[in-house]
Structure 1
């Protein structure tokens, strides 16, 4: 149940962020071709929506193995070394993303003292996307590691 809900939250996060990005870009396009002045907040909002869309999608990409694999090199290795790589790469990635999760929370805390230039919201909100990305990737890496060790 929890597994399904995490995936659902990430999917809705991607959808909402992507629709927000599309909406702000459409506003920018309409304003450029009409006498209406382009609101200053649309550029920053587009950037934030894009960052959040990528943050939510990163975990889902890990879940579905949508990251780039260098099969040309991988297939040239011995079966024993291929198996070692299949075990080691997720563990190394997990360690790196755990470190990122820890330090991203520090970054979020530092962002509470800043305000965004055009929208005026707390920059900790923008920086929180790094935490979402690293935690969601860690979650799916743990699942992948458990599956690898069961095989």
Structure 2
């Protein structure tokens, strides 16, 4: 990304200016980002293939597979669960940006740390209940695929665990950015 593209992204998303972790931790987090993005993308491709099979089944085949709707629904659930953490890390979750561009670098970092702390705290509170919810699925199977619903309900555990993990990363990045020595770029007007 060249300098003009970077400036446009920063103007659109003020929190993207908060520095990310570097070094070994940054590489590990980047690897996790790639892993979960790839898994979510595979789920999306699976949804597309399943829906195309359903359409072909209705138009061309003498029968329409009944399991395609159920599988596409489960893939969609896992796509959302697997991408939740990366969405937090890239600041792509739904928010209202009324005042972000007015904040200085340290205030943006503090804001990121606060928001991530609140999201992570909520997810940490809900996580045990998500586990209980997933355990309820051990005694049930899906209607057409006959898959134990434990695997489907486990998506809630994955979702909230990733929100806790990526929120903790956001808090650490925000706190480190607040404590670091200001650079020349930070002293310029936002």
- Identify the match of residue 60 of structure 2 among 22, 34, 38: 34
Structure of greater Rg: 2
Superposition RMSD in Å:
2.5
Superposition TM-score, scaled by structure 2 size:
0.70
Per the alignment, residue 76 of structure 2 pairs with 50
Hey, which bits of structure 1, 4+ residues long, moved more than 4 A? 73-77, 80-85
Question: What is the number of residues matched between the two proteins?
Answer: 151
Work out the CA distance in 1 between the residues paired with 2:128 and 2:30. 25
Distance 2:162 2:147 in 1: 24
TM-score normalized with structure 1 length: 0.86
Query: How far 1:112 moved relative to its partner?
Result: 0.6
Residues 64 and 82 of structure 1: CA distance in aligned 2, closer, same or farther (over 3 Å): closer
| 1:18 alignment partner, one of 44, 63, 77 | 44
2:136 counterpart of 1:107:
no
1:6 aligns with 2:43: no
> Is the alpha carbon distance of 1:5 and 1:101 closer, same or farther for their aligned partners in structure 2, counting shifts above 3 Å?
farther
Query: Is the CA contact (8 Å cut-off) linking 2:137 and 2:149 kept in structure 1?
Result: yes
Identify which of 134, 139, 147 aligns with 2:160: 134
In 2, the alpha carbon distance for the partners of 1:42 and 1:7 equals 29
Cα deviation digits, residues 91-126 of structure 1 (max 9, x gap): 111111112222111111111111101110100101
Does 2:151 match 1:116?
no
Gaps of 5+ in 2: 1-26, 179-190
Q: Which of 81, 98, 105 lines up with 1:72 in the alignment?
A: 98
Judging changes above 3 Å, is the alpha-carbon distance between structure 1 residues 83 and 65 closer, same or farther for their aligned structure 2 residues? closer
Is 1:144 matched up with 2:170?
A: yes
